[in-house]
């Protein structure tokens, strides 16, 4: 006998109960899928953002905080590295390139990052999508998401500890801490990198130092009285214009006021490990971003495992509740099934009708959960990207599909319970009820 007419009739009779059951199952599946897919997307996005930071050198302190400030621009006040380190790196044959990184100023909520033109172009790996890289003090290169346009004047403000500005917005804290009389001209824009640096404004590090009255880190700093970043106490003796002054390395160790971080690009893997070992002593700290990320991923993975276990437990409880509900519903249909048995339907037919009806609801809920999980993952990724600047590419993988399949299998096994009850129900008792 064909069980589907009876199955469809049972599902139509459930009316609002069937959609409610499918929604409960879908929510259970979607929660587990969103947790797994989002955690994987966050790992991949954060790893891509750190690709250009081979080795980071800073003053002794928290490696995690230095990583978050330098790579992900979650800026905090950090101790400074002395200028002698820049001189030592410039003379080290194991170093291919290096760049100091300074931060602390903002403009329209975007962090103003002082560095070198070489690092702004990632040592030749990327080219500006518009304009060019900065070549003199007073010039700036925009990240892909910065709302300034080429030719605009960028007015920096001093950042306030504990205050997190919103990108693209000028708040009262920024208005109250402007560096009056100073400005940068936007001369270029970088392509999208998929990292928080898409929201950064990159300027010569000499400009950052001079805005704060710290000199420019070069032996020729007295030649800058006509620079827009000249400060009281500077003198000039050669009258050179700002565009003629040198920016970038080599720096004068005695004149460098200190930097929060230095990004180093070693020439070889062996050189990278040797440099890390050397600068882990003598008043400095050095690390590979990947090794810090591994520890962070470990903590993130532990949290994910806890959430996945909690989600799986919640899913099993939901399935158990669904099965109990269907047992109650089948009790109301006991007379219908008893009538079928009295008309000659075998026990196996009643068992099959009951089991298939439950499986249809659970399977439909799992499929809806996959779709809902994809939507939830992309929604959460959008929120995370908006807050951190990371470019996330969430996708449902084999693990999430296996999780949904396992939940459907468990539901199929649990569905045997109401089917077995219907199978064992006596005909006479059913007709009397």
The per-residue DSSP string of 156-190 comes to -EE--TT--PPTT---HHHHTTB-TT--EEEEEEP
Give the C-alpha separation, 349 to 346, whole Å: 5
Give the C-alpha separation, 122 to 109, whole Å: 24
pLDDT in tens, 372-406: 988 988 888 888 888 888 888 888 878 778 878 88
Residue-level pLDDT at 422: 64
Give the C-alpha separation, 204 to 114, whole Å: 5
Q: Give the position of tokens 């109401």.
A: 418
Across the range 299-307, mean pLDDT stands at 68
Give the C-alpha separation, 156 to 202, whole Å: 12
pTM over 0.85, yes/no: no
Q: pLDDT category, 228, cuts 50, 70, 90?
A: very low
pLDDT in tens, 109-136: 899 999 999 999 999 889 999 999 998 8
Does 88 have pLDDT greater than 70? Answer: yes
pLDDT in tens, 183-217: 899 999 999 998 999 999 999 998 888 887 887 77
Residue-level pLDDT at 174: 67
Q: What is the dihedral of CA 7, 12, 13, 15, to 10 degrees?
A: 140
């Amino acid at each position: 006998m064909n069980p589907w007419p009876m199955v469809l009739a049972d599902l139509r009779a459930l009316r609002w109960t069937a959609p409610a059951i499918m929604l409960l199952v879908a929510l259970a599946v979607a929660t587990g899928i969103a947790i797994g897919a989002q955690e994987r997307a966050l790992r991949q996005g954060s790893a891509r953002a750190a690709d250009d930071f081979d080795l980071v050198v800073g003053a002794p302190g928290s490696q995690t905080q230095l990583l978050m400030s330098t790579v992900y621009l979650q800026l905090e006040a950090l101790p400074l590295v002395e200028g002698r380190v820049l001189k030592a790196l410039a003379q080290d044959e194991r170093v291919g390139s290096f760049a100091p990184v300074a931060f602390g100023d903002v403009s329209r909520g975007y962090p103003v990052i002082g560095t070198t033109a070489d690092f702004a172009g990632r040592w030749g790996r990327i080219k500006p999508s518009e304009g060019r890289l900065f070549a003199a003090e007073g010039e700036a290169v925009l990240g892909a998401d910065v709302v300034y346009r080429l030719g605009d004047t960028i007015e920096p403000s001093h950042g306030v500890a504990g205050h997190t500005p919103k990108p693209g917005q000028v708040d009262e804290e920024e208005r109250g801490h402007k560096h009056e009389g100073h400005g940068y001209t936007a001369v270029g824009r970088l392509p999208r990198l998929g990292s928080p640096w898409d929201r950064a404004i990159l300027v010569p590090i000499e400009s950052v130092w001079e805005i704060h009255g710290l000199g420019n880190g070069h032996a020729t700093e007295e030649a800058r009285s006509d620079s827009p970043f000249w400060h009281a106490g500077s003198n000039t003796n050669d009258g050179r214009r700002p565009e003629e002054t040198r920016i970038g390395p080599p720096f004068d160790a005695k004149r460098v006021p200190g930097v929060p971080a230095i990004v180093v690009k070693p020439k070889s893997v062996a050189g990278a490990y040797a440099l890390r070992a050397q600068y882990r002593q003598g008043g400095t700290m050095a690390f590979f971003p990947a090794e810090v990320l591994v520890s962070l991923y470990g903590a993130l993975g532990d949290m994910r495992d806890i959430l996945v276990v909690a989600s799986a437990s919640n899913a099993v409880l939901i399935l158990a509740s669904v099965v109990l509900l269907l047992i109650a519903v089948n009790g109301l249909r006991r007379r219908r099934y008893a009538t079928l048995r009295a008309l000659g339907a075998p026990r196996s037919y009643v068992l099959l009708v009951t089991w298939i009806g439950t499986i249809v609801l659970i399977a439909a809920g799992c499929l809806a959960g996959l779709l809902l999980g994809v939507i939830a993952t992309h929604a959460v990724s959008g929120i995370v990207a908006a807050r951190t600047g990371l470019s996330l590419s969430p996708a449902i993988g084999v693990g999430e599909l296996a999780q949904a399949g396992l939940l459907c299998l468990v539901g199929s096994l649990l569905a045997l319970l109401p089917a077995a009850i219907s199978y064992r129900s006596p005909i006479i008792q059913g007709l009397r009820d």
